[in-house]
């Protein structure tokens, strides 16, 4: 081992934690005893510096607590930066132990400046040939279960000689977890590795003459709780209401089966939507909220409308959810935005997981590609078709069913990342999804053969090129392309047979123009091609109106062959006129070739730090979205429709209630205009009299208040309570009265809790209480004797309500930790009390009786997941 002469220099400093909380000098306690270094740790001399015979000083700032332990270490400066001296000094100083400082009789924490000097011994400086030291004990310390290299750990070895003397050495592990000891005398050496937060490693190894001993040690964490992660940097909050969920949080929420998209349902302002319809956000219809992947649209979120999301968690990093007032980066929605972000791959070695549960099996693997790249691959497949295949074939033999393909889904993803050069990064993502089931009733030669089938497959590719030459400039170019094939047949009642193509290109620039001004600007281009045949019943009464009262309305066919383009330009400034105030004015421009219109959308949001830990936030903005292609089609809709519009207002506050408790309260108001509603009118179009079908005469208003109280993970507990009060109303014409919206849910209460038990057990619960959806009561009937059925007479629209919804979900996890992998058994039970939560009203044939129907029963999922 190299002999070092280190000269510590101790300087005293005051314990000022925050410039804003300056304490007057005469209020500071008088230090009566200085802190004294009692355990010094020798730093590893940087190899390159040693080779070049370089010496240096590193000035550190140490926070020493009242027990004498090091709370924090910061490098202030180094006389020779970039050669490893700073890292070596930092690592060593982290393990210093002091006798604490005193102010009178009381031990007090202090902040001191410490200069760590690296000085070579004379023999090292001498140019004479020196004896080469033999590195005869090499080792590596990895974290048990994850195989993560443990850097900066103190490794102590000692040997008691025959004469009773104890020889001891210490060193720190490097970034890759490796350590080296030189010239150890042969024999047994005791090894001790005892970092905080881990079970200690106490073992021994044998050193032999002229041999090198190589060992790997696996050190086990006291807890493998996902929340024991260190947040390296807090995301800067600048939006009025953006909630970002980390994937680690998401995977444990009960009742969601670890599905990213489902967790969003537990956030404030998100109401329950009927099966498969997405999210009802702040009283807006499900189709008014866009669900995006890296800011780009994807055709479907779930397999078969509700089962599992099409992108497994392994590929994802976060979910950004905006219930309203979203920035100019986004457009084409009047509700909210759910933007799922892909992870930045940074695997240190080959790693991944495999998951096996009742529904499906999935696997995910990621690996580095050299020093500058990484690759991840994922795949998931259901096996309902295998499990129920036998039962289904039995059904087929009993009924006149000629062929069956039982339901099955699969999805696959590839994510690649490569750093072309400093500041130039490339990311490529490809996603494929395939859903299918099919039943044919009757023989092939039967003219009345009926088909019930659902075949939906799509792929999406996304290419992103990032140019980040400095911290003040970033440009991101994203190109997304994909195709969807849909072939859905429901007997003679419904059919979609089509191909849908889409390309989107977006370039976004972020540039810090001045110290207090940052510019974000970009351009957005979209191209869509819709080539499809749609055969479906004529559109019903539309939102808010009762369903069609015809028993079997003849389906209407529509052949759509439509190409359309759109262009968007957006810009926003982040301005900090004073330290505690952030203003974000923005403007968006959109041109739609399909609607042949242009629109400008101004938006503004602000955040103001009223006090420490108290933020006032607000915003207002203009938003719009195109009608659906069915509403605007010539055969089934009205091609002259315009865009729907909304103005959002929000005002709220965020503050810290207590240590670990944060509270977010936001009031919101939305004005809706130009809404698409059904019409019975007859109009003249191109010289012909045609039914209008739809018109832009609808409007509405939504208002409410939402609260979110979060308890950060501490004392083994994590959870949140969200409550929303909201009222959502619509009218179908300017002269009509406002009525409740179909998805109005006045009260939404969600309570989530998660508790970490000993021995790697974890338990979580979720409880929800939600107002029932509005219903339109039936107040009478008329017998249509021509068609032999009863036509209901409806009362005022949405003046009734379903019973409230409440449900309790439970999740239990147990982990086993092995050297190179971990195994997690989980049980996720949705609706553990098996409560029947009605989603609709069923009537008798003459509407004289009614009963509630719908709602999922108790739904347990058990699964095993192995991470390596």
Partner 1 sequence: MRNQLNHLLNKALVILLFMANGTCGEGYGTPQKLDRLRVMAIQAAPPSIANNESTTLQALIYQPDDREQELTYQWSWCPFVDSGGEGLTCLVSEDEFAALLGTDAANLSFDLGSNPTATLEHIFDNASLMNICSPENADAAGFFPDCFGGLSVTVRLEINDEKESITAIKRLRLLYDGTPANQNPTFDEVKFLLSNTKLGEEKSRPSQEEEPTIDEAEVLPADGSGRLTTDKTYHLFLDIKEEQSEEFTYWGFDDNAQLIMVPSQEELYISWYITAGELMGARTEYNPPLSELEDLHQNLWRLPADEDNPGNQVSFYFIVHDSRGGVSWTHRSVGMD
Contact flag: residue 546 with partner 1 (CB under 8 A): yes
514-533 positions binding partner 1, by CB under 8 A: 526, 530
In terms of Cβ atoms closer than 10 Å to its own Cβ (0-12, 13-18, 19+), residue 111 is middle
Contact flag: residue 544 with partner 1 (CB under 8 A): no
Q: Which two tokens stand for residue 478?
A: 């994203």
* Residue pair 694/641 in contact by the 8 Å Cβ criterion: yes
CB of 370 to partner 1, least distance (A): 37
Contact flag: residue 332 with partner 1 (CB under 8 A): yes
Phi and psi based region of residue 441 (left: phi greater than 0; alpha: psi -120 to 50; beta: remaining): beta
Considering the complex, state which of residue 305 and residue 800 has its C-beta at the smaller distance from partner 1: 305
Smallest Cα–Cα separation from 415: which of 356, 475, 340?
340
Contact flag: residue 557 with partner 1 (CB under 8 A): no
Contact flag: residue 291 with partner 1 (CB under 8 A): yes
Contact flag: residue 194 with partner 1 (CB under 8 A): no
H/E element, 87: helix 85-94
609 phi/psi in degrees, rounded to 5? -80, 95
Considering the complex, state which of residue 493 and residue 513 has its C-beta at the smaller distance from partner 1: 493
Considering the complex, state which of residue 159 and residue 839 has its C-beta at the smaller distance from partner 1: 839
Length of the chain counted residue by residue: 868
Contact flag: residue 591 with partner 1 (CB under 8 A): no
Q: Which two tokens stand for residue 54?
A: 């370089």
793-812 positions binding partner 1, by CB under 8 A: 793-794
The CA distance from 639 to 632, in Å, is 4
Mask: binding to partner 1, 657-686, rule CB under 8 A, as x and -?
Answer: -----------------------xxxxx--
Distances, alpha carbon 752 to alpha carbons 616, 653, 664, in Å: 26, 22, 16
The CA distance from 287 to 294, in Å, is 19
Contact flag: residue 786 with partner 1 (CB under 8 A): yes
* Residue pair 725/704 in contact by the 8 Å Cβ criterion: yes
CB of 505 to partner 1, least distance (A): 13
* Binds partner 1 (CB under 8 A): choice among 228, 552, 561, 612: 552
* Residue pair 217/142 in contact by the 8 Å Cβ criterion: yes
* Distance between start and end Cα atoms, the chain: 36
Binding segment toward partner 1, per CB under 8 A, in 15-23, 62-70, 75-83, 781-789: 781-789
Write b or e for each residue in 135-169: b if 16 or more Cβ atoms lie within 10 A of its Cβ, otherwise e.
ebbebbbbbbbbbbbbebbbbebebeeeeeeeeeb
* Binds partner 1 (CB under 8 A): choice among 847, 855, 859, 868: 847
* Residue pair 362/316 in contact by the 8 Å Cβ criterion: no
* Binds partner 1 (CB under 8 A): choice among 47, 167, 783, 825: 783
The CA distance from 250 to 257, in Å, is 10
373-392 positions binding partner 1, by CB under 8 A: none
* Binds partner 1 (CB under 8 A): choice among 18, 165, 371, 448: 448
* Binds partner 1 (CB under 8 A): choice among 168, 844, 858, 862: 844
Smallest Cα–Cα separation from 565: which of 596, 600, 532, 599?
596
Considering the complex, state which of residue 90 and residue 496 has its C-beta at the smaller distance from partner 1: 496
Contact flag: residue 459 with partner 1 (CB under 8 A): no
Contact flag: residue 469 with partner 1 (CB under 8 A): no
* Residue pair 439/404 in contact by the 8 Å Cβ criterion: yes
Smallest Cα–Cα separation from 576: which of 607, 615, 616, 610?
607
Considering the complex, state which of residue 183 and residue 692 has its C-beta at the smaller distance from partner 1: 692
Considering the complex, state which of residue 392 and residue 752 has its C-beta at the smaller distance from partner 1: 392
Contact flag: residue 228 with partner 1 (CB under 8 A): no
* Binds partner 1 (CB under 8 A): choice among 300, 315, 415, 802: 300
CB of 332 to partner 1, least distance (A): 4
Contact flag: residue 492 with partner 1 (CB under 8 A): no
CB of 846 to partner 1, least distance (A): 7
The CA distance from 261 to 11, in Å, is 54
* Residue pair 674/644 in contact by the 8 Å Cβ criterion: yes
Contact flag: residue 589 with partner 1 (CB under 8 A): no
Binding segment toward partner 1, per CB under 8 A, in 258-266, 537-545, 740-748, 762-770: 537-545
Considering the complex, state which of residue 45 and residue 321 has its C-beta at the smaller distance from partner 1: 321
Considering the complex, state which of residue 472 and residue 548 has its C-beta at the smaller distance from partner 1: 548
Binding segment toward partner 1, per CB under 8 A, in 216-224, 264-272, 274-282, 417-425: 274-282
CB of 430 to partner 1, least distance (A): 20
The CA distance from 282 to 847, in Å, is 33
Contact flag: residue 480 with partner 1 (CB under 8 A): no
CB of 843 to partner 1, least distance (A): 5
* Residue pair 732/797 in contact by the 8 Å Cβ criterion: no
CB of 72 to partner 1, least distance (A): 47
Binding segment toward partner 1, per CB under 8 A, in 8-16, 110-118, 183-191, 271-279: 271-279
Considering the complex, state which of residue 46 and residue 332 has its C-beta at the smaller distance from partner 1: 332
- For residue 520, the cross-strand partners are 510, 572
Considering the complex, state which of residue 143 and residue 339 has its C-beta at the smaller distance from partner 1: 339
3-class state of residue 522 by DSSP: strand
The CA distance from 202 to 151, in Å, is 18
Smallest Cα–Cα separation from 282: which of 274, 294, 270?
270
Contact flag: residue 735 with partner 1 (CB under 8 A): no
Say how many CA atoms lie within 13 Å of 7 toward its Cβ: 6
Contact flag: residue 260 with partner 1 (CB under 8 A): no
Considering the complex, state which of residue 106 and residue 784 has its C-beta at the smaller distance from partner 1: 784
* Binds partner 1 (CB under 8 A): choice among 18, 445, 689, 734: 689
CB of 610 to partner 1, least distance (A): 37
Count residues near partner 1 (CB under 8 A): 86
Contact flag: residue 271 with partner 1 (CB under 8 A): no
Contact flag: residue 549 with partner 1 (CB under 8 A): yes
21 phi/psi in degrees, rounded to 5? -110, 40
Neighbouring C-beta atoms of residue 392, cutoff 10 Å: 18
41-80 positions binding partner 1, by CB under 8 A: none
751-780 positions binding partner 1, by CB under 8 A: 780
Q: Which two tokens stand for residue 753?
A: 């809790």
CB of 450 to partner 1, least distance (A): 11
* Binds partner 1 (CB under 8 A): choice among 284, 328, 331, 750: 331
* Binds partner 1 (CB under 8 A): choice among 388, 400, 557, 733: 400
Contact flag: residue 645 with partner 1 (CB under 8 A): no
Contact flag: residue 548 with partner 1 (CB under 8 A): yes
The CA distance from 212 to 218, in Å, is 20
561-580 positions binding partner 1, by CB under 8 A: 566
The CA distance from 195 to 68, in Å, is 17
Q: Are strands 137-143 and 213-219 parallel, antiparallel or unpaired?
A: parallel
Contact flag: residue 538 with partner 1 (CB under 8 A): no
* Binds partner 1 (CB under 8 A): choice among 333, 337, 377, 672: 333
- For residue 29, the cross-strand partners are none
* Contact partners, residue 708, CB within 8 Å, separation at least 6: 243, 267, 268, 663, 664, 720, 721, 722
């Amino acid at each position: 081992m190299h002999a070092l002469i280190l000269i510590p220099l101790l300087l005293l400093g005051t314990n000022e934690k925050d410039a804003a909380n300056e304490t007057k000098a005469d209020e500071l306690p008088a230090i009566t005893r200085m802190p004294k270094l009692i355990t010094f740790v020798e730093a590893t001399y940087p190899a390159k510096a040693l080779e070049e015979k370089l010496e240096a000083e590193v000035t550190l700032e140490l926070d020493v607590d009242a027990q004498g332990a090091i709370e924090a270490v910061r490098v202030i400066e180094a006389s020779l930066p970039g050669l490893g001296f700073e890292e070596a000094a930092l690592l060593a100083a982290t393990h210093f132990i002091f006798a604490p400082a005193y102010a009178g009789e009381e031990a007090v924490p202090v902040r001191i400046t410490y200069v760590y000097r690296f000085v070579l011994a004379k023999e090292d400086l001498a140019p004479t040939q020196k004896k080469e030291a033999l590195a005869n004990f090499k080792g590596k310390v990895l974290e048990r279960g994850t195989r993560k290299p443990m850097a900066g750990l103190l490794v102590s070895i000692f040997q008691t000689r025959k004469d009773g003397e104890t020889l001891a050495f210490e060193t720190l592990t490097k970034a890759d977890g490796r350590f080296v000891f030189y010239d150890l005398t042969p024999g047994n050496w005791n090894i001790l590795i005892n970092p905080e937060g881990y079970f200690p490693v106490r073992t021994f190894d044998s050193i032999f003459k002229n041999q090198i001993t190589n060992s790997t040690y696996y050190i086990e964490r006291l807890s493998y709780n996902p929340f024991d992660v260190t947040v390296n940097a807090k995301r800067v909050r600048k939006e009025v209401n953006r909630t970002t969920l980390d994937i680690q949080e998401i995977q444990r929420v009960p009742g969601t089966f670890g599905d990213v998209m489902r967790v969003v349902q537990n956030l404030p302002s998100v109401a329950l939507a009927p099966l498969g319809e997405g999210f009802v956000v702040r009283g807006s219809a499900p189709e008014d909220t866009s669900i995006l992947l890296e800011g780009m649209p994807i055709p479907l979120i779930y397999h078969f409308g509700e089962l599992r999301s099409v992108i497994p968690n392994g590929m994802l990093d976060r979910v950004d959810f905006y219930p309203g007032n979203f920035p100019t980066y986004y457009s084409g929605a009047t509700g909210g935005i759910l933007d799922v972000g892909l992870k930045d791959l940074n695997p240190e070695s080959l790693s991944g997981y495999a998951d096996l549960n009742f529904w499906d099996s999935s696997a995910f693997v990621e690996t580095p590609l050299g020093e500058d790249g990484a690759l991840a691959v994922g795949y998931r497949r259901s096996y309902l078709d295998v499990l129920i295949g036998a039962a289904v074939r039995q059904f087929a033999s009993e009924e006149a069913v000629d062929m069956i393909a039982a339901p099955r889904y699969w999805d696959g993803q590839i994510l690649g990342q490569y750093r072309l050069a400093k500041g130039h990064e490339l990311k490529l993502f490809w996603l494929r999804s395939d859903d299918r089931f099919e039943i044919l009733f009757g023989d092939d030669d039967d003219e009345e053969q009926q088909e019930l089938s659902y075949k939906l497959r799509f792929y999406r590719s996304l290419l992103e090129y990032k140019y980040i030459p400095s911290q003040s400039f970033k440009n991101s170019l994203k190109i997304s392309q994909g195709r969807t094939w849909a072939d859905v047949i429901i007997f003679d009642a419904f059919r979609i047979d089509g191909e849908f193509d889409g390309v989107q290109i977006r370039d976004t620039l972020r540039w810090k123009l001045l110290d207090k001004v940052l510019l974000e600007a970009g351009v957005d281009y979209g191209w869509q091609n819709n080539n499809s045949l749609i055969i479906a019943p004529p559109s019903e009464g539309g939102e808010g109106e009762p369903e069609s009262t015809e028993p079997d309305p003849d389906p209407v066919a529509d052949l759509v062959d439509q190409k359309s383009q759109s262009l968007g330009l957006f810009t926003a400034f982040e301005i900090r006129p004073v330290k505690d105030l952030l203003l974000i004015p923005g403007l968006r421009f959109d041109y739609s070739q399909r609607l042949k219109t242009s629109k400008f959308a101004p938006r503004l949001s602000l955040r103001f730090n009223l006090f420490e830990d108290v933020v006032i936030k607000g915003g207002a903005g203009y938003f719009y979205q195109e009608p659906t292609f069915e509403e605007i089609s010539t055969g089934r809709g009205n091609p002259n429709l315009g865009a729907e519009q909304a103005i959002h207002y929000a005002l709220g506050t965020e503050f810290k209630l207590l240590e670990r408790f944060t509270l977010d309260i936001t009031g919101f108001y939305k004005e809706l205009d130009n809404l698409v509603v059904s019409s019975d009118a007859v109009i003249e179009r191109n010289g012909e009299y045609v039914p209008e079908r739809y018109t832009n005469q609808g409007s509405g208003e939504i208002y409410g208040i939402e609260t979110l109280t979060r308890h950060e993970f501490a004392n083994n507990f994590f959870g949140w309570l969200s409550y929303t009060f909201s009222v959502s109303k619509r009218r179908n014409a300017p002269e009509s009265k406002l009525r409740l919206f179909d998805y109005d849910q006045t009260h939404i209460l969600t309570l989530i809790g998660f508790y970490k038990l000993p021995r790697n057990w974890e338990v979580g619960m979720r409880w929800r209480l939600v107002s029932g959806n509005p219903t339109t009561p039936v107040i009478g009937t008329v017998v249509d004797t021509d068609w032999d059925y009863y036509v209901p007479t409806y009362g005022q629209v949405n003046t009734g309500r379903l019973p409230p919804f409440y449900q309790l979900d439970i999740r239990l996890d147990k982990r086993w930790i092995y050297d190179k992998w971990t195994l997690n058994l989980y049980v996720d039970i949705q609706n553990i009390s098996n409560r029947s939560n009605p989603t609709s009203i069923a009537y008798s044939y003459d509407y004289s009786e009614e009963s509630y129907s719908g709602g999922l029963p108790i739904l347990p999922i058990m699964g095993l997941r192995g991470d390596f």
